Amino acid sequence: MVVKIERLRYFLVEFSGDVPEIKSLVRDLRKQVSSLEGQLGLAKSGVHVVGIQDTFAIIRSVHDKRDLVESAIQLLPYLVVVRTVSGTIKKINTLLNSHFVDETND
């Protein structure tokens, strides 16, 4: 039995200003990916918002569509910065938690 494991990428995104609701973020992100690559590109990208915490969001996509999703994130109607991209959610959570620890110690 052959099992194909897709490699994923996780984007740690920081919002400046108002943080959107998760529902509107998903809608706007899908709209941007669709406008760049069409419905087929949207389906192949596997874009998914994992969650939002304070001013940060974690967005997941397929490894092959990293550039597409990163450019779609930059085209969102929010002030947004991609802080880092990682292959594991554990690394993103570690960076997210270390950011909050550093922020409280200052």
> Across residues 22-40, what is the average pLDDT?
95
What CATH code is carried by the domain that includes residue 51?
Answer: 3.30.70.3250
Where in the sequence is the domain holding 18, given as residue range(s)?
Answer: 8-105
Label residue 42 by pLDDT band (50, 70, 90): very high
Indicate the pTM of the whole model.
0.87
Cα–Cα separations (whole angstroms), residue 90 to 45, 66, 94: 21, 18, 6
Report how many domains make up the chain: 1
| Cα gap 45→58, rounded to integer Å | 15
User: pLDDT digits over 86-104, tens only?
Assistant: 999 999 999 888 876 565 5
